[in-house]
Amino acid sequence: EVQLQESGPGLVKPSQSLSLTCSVTGYSITSNYWGWIRKFPGNKMEWMGYISYSGSTSYNPSLKSRISITRDTSKNQFFLQLNSVTTEDTATYYCARYLRRVFDYWGQGVMVTVSS
Partner 1 sequence: DIQMTQSPASLSASLGETVTIECRASEDIYNGLAWYQQKPGKSPQLLIYNANSLHTGVPSRFSGSGSGTQYSLKINSLQSEDVASYFCQQYYDYLNTFGAGTKLELK
Contact in structure between 16 and 67 (CB atoms under 8 Å): no
**Smallest gap, in angstroms, from Cβ of residue 60 to partner 1?**
6
Chain positions contacting partner 1, by CB under 8 A: 43-47, 58, 60-61, 94, 100-104, 106-109
* Residue number with CB closer to partner 1 (100 or 115): 100
Measure the CA–CA gap between 82 and 3, rounded to whole angstroms. 23
**Smallest gap, in angstroms, from Cβ of residue 77 to partner 1?**
18
**Smallest gap, in angstroms, from Cβ of residue 35 to partner 1?**
9
* Residue number with CB closer to partner 1 (65 or 74): 65
Measure the CA–CA gap between 90 and 111, rounded to whole angstroms. 8
* Residue number with CB closer to partner 1 (34 or 94): 94
**Smallest gap, in angstroms, from Cβ of residue 69 to partner 1?**
15
Q: Are strands 33-39 and 57-59 parallel, antiparallel or unpaired?
A: unpaired
* Residue number with CB closer to partner 1 (16 or 58): 58
